[in-house]
């Protein structure tokens, strides 16, 4: 059957245009226009991705060499008294939390998977605080979308080595370790409870630009309001936003934990 025909019986076909009163030529024109618009959208998205991620995409061989070098490197030595690590998988405390772990796929500034699994861990007090934030936001129609939490130190080493000097303010120096390494930093955003969709912010996650700053005055009023709502809710539970990244929050007791380098596979799935 041709797409412009409607079959009314085994023996009769009538043009779709006559059956529905539609101008077929106009219909094809509309389809072409929609296709052109979709192509423009895709091209725009690709262009946006390139500007979001200023780090050149690494060849697979170079990325694997970087990973091998990172695994051979040793975290900095630390002295003093620290609490024992108690890393918990955050979604086990509240299944309504949503995950979008970009580092387990290729939608990140390295354009390659860094984590073997899409999982988010935090030290237990920080994880419990995130759950309280999520419950408070639910009354306003939002939930938390988690991008990243505990990050093994060797991954921080990879990020530092792969990032151009002029953009290193967006990554932690492995010489001192990061709050992600201590299990007390989380990258997150909001999602709409009605639609399940991520809430637009003034910049994308992991965007290395001024739009990522938590006090950036651009974007739409709605985007800034969503960003500020997230910041207020997180601050109420002891989190401080990073100076360069609206999505990055540090828990108040991060100094009490050592730098960690354990693999996800070595951490318990439920606690």
What residues are annotated to the active site?
245
Helices (H) and strands (E) in the chain, counts: 6, 9
Query: Could you tell me the end-to-end alpha-carbon distance of the chain, in angstroms, rounded to an integer?
Result: 59
State how far the Cα of 207 lies from the Cα of 228, in Å rounded to an integer: 18
Nearest one of 227, 138, 170 to 235, comparing CA atoms: 227
Instruction: Quote the CA–CA distance of 111 and 53 in Å, as a whole number.
Output: 9
Q: Which residues pair with 239 in a beta bridge?
A: 251
3 state DSSP class of 5 = strand
How many Cβ atoms are within 10 Å of 168's Cβ, its own excluded?
13
List Cα–Cα distances, 241 to 129, 173, 231, in angstroms: 15, 18, 7
Q: How many CB atoms lie within 10 A of CB 27?
A: 15
């Amino acid at each position: 059957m041709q797409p412009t025909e409607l079959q009314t019986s085994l023996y009769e076909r009538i043009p779709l245009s006559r059956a529905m009163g539609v101008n077929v030529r106009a219909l094809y024109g509309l389809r072409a226009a929609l296709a052109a618009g979709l192509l423009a959208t895709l091209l725009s998205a690709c262009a946006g991705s390139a500007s979001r991620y200023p780090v050149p995409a690494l060849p697979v061989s170079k990325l694997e060499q970087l990973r091998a070098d990172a695994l051979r490197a040793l975290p900095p030595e630390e002295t003093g008294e620290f609490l024992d690590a108690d890393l918990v998988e955050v979604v086990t405390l509240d299944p309504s939390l949503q995950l979008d772990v970009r580092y387990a796929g290729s939608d990140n500034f390295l354009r390659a998977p860094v984590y073997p699994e899409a999982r988010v861990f935090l030290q237990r007090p920080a994880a419990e605080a995130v759950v309280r934030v999520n419950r408070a936001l639910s009354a306003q129609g939002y939930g938390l979308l988690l991008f990243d939490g505990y990050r093994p130190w060797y991954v921080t080493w990879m990020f530092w080595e792969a990032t151009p000097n002029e953009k290193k303010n967006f990554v932690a120096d492995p010489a001192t370790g990061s709050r992600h390494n201590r299990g007390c930093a989380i990258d997150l955003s909001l999602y709409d409870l009605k639609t399940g969709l991520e809430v637009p912010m003034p910049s994308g996650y992991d965007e290395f630009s001024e739009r990522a700053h938590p006090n950036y005055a651009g974007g739409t009023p709605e985007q800034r309001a969503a960003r500020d709502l997230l910041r207020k809710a997180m601050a109420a539970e002891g989190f401080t936003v990073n100076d360069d990244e609206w999505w990055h929050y540090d828990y108040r007791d991060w100094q009490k934990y050592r730098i960690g380098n354990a693999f996800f596979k070595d951490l318990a799935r439920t606690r």
